[in-house]
A and B are shown apart, each in its own frame.
Chain A
Amino acid sequence: MAKKVKKIGSQTPLVRGLDVGTSFIYSAQKVGPEVSFKSCRDCFFDIEHSDFIEEILKKSNVRYALKGERIYIVGEEAMKFANVFGKNTRRPLRNGVISPDEEESLPVIELLVKDTLGSPRSNEEVVCYSVPANPIDVPFDIIYHQNIIRMFLENLGYQAKPLNEGLAVIYSELARNNFTGMGISLGGGMTNVCFAVMAVPIFSFSIARAGDWVDEQVARVTNETMSKITAIKEANLNLNLAETSTDKIDQALYIYYDSLIGYVLENIKGEMEKSPKPRLEKPVPIVLAGGTAKPKGFLRMFEESLNKIKLPLETGEVKVASYPLLSVVKGTLIAGIAERKKST
């Protein structure tokens, strides 16, 4: 049996990548020439239990959990239910870390991680998971979050290794630049920034403002639910058109996206000024990843703001990751494979 495990291990490294984000949880696994990505929306919605509803959910292949007299609909369907009821979904993660406001956050995250990742193929399988950097604009740390996720993964039977989210973006997108540059992951709850030279992080930090902040502000000024704004934003937001749009939601989205970019760049400038400045031969490339960087026109808005702000280091090419939503999980998988190679 042990011989068989060793054989599988020599063909495909027993490694998985995991991105535990505020909006989505992604997992990645290399299977021969392909990489298989699985995703789950990181939210839930609870309704009163009845046998009839449970039967419908079972038939519709909806992921749910039961506790007491409530049914907890988990994942993508939770969003649909929330929009039907005109309410907001409940989120197990807030600002990139486990939400202290949600009593059910721990079992829901455990369930989602289990769904996305599956069982390990051997007891030596490594999972490299993303963690945010310490935030600079809110008074909390990531110790609790990092340890809880590690505990879930170890309970599933994996060897868990944390990786900074911004660094994961660099691993994923800046191989041609010898892993030198700046990775910015604009997710749901947080914006993670990491500046690395030859795969060594010089500084990394996170900001508790990202897609959710935009949704929250837009929902407030337009008197809509956050879930509805999220659905509109994810469906077909084009920031190039939103700038001149007469629709109030589009206009608000443009305004808050612009504000978010300005806030992120101000913080990057501040941190760069505090950190040691390495002498680099080439300008620093910047990669943008995450769902918030996905809409059309985001890159143009970012470049315009970057030209106005002038960072202490000369910046080079700015690009959006080839698969913005999968960039972090790709980075964690790369880190895991590299770790495995190093140890063998």
Chain B
Amino acid sequence: MDSELKILKKIFEENGRAHIESISDYLGFGRDYLRFLCQRLVEKDLLISSQRDWYQLSKKGKRELKLRGLIDLRKKRLKRHLKKIVLPTLRLREFPKKIKSAPNFTSSKNYNPPTLKLKLGKKIEKTASSLTRARQSQAKGEDEVRTSSTEKLRS
């Protein structure tokens, strides 16, 4: 079962309407990536997005789940009056390491983008050296402040 179907199933289990956070908890994906997936489902008319971050299963979405044998509409009826309230929790999720890019995206070969060459090598090297020095002196300063404050505390 792919991610899109998992999203649809989760929303169905939440009585047809779910917040992105509860889907995120279920699938373990980040919210931005889920928004992207849900947006695609909205475009396919499988979901309805009436409010930001809330997604509702459309008739087409329900039919899709039924066709794939993932749900039985006769057994599970939507009970709106018993809707479970899920409070979104603020949590940062680890981003999935790999995302499948669109298939069959073959590109032309041997392309060289326009190139501009400027004699800035020495200048950039000099700036990088002074940046390193500035960072080092900053770190040194911070260390000194830290040591003096610990000494003060000790005394």
Contact = CB atoms under 8 A, between A and B. Distances in A.
A141 B93 CA distance: 13
A199 B131 contact: yes
A66 interface: yes
A341 interface: yes
B138 A198 contact: yes
Contact of A58 (B33, B108, B122): B108
**Interface size range on A against B:** 35 or more
Interface size class of B (residues with CB under 8 A): 35 or more
A110 B101 contact: yes
A200 B35 contact: no
Interface of B: 30, 32-33, 35-36, 39-40, 43, 52, 92, 95, 97-99, 101-102, 104-108, 111, 113-122, 124-132, 134-138
A104 interface: yes
Contacts of B132: 338, 341-342
A68 B30 CA distance: 29
B99 A175 contact: no
A139 B118 CA distance: 39
Contacts of A75: 113
Contact of A100 (B36, B111, B122, B126): B36
Interface stretch (A223-231, A300-308, A329-337): A329-337
Nearest to B107: A65
A32 B121 contact: yes
B138 A35 contact: no
Contacts of A67: 102, 104-106
Given A36-B116, A199-B138, A341-B128, 11 more contacts: A31-B121, A65-B105, A75-B113, A103-B102, A111-B107, A139-B52, A144-B30, A199-B131, A326-B118, A334-B128, A338-B128
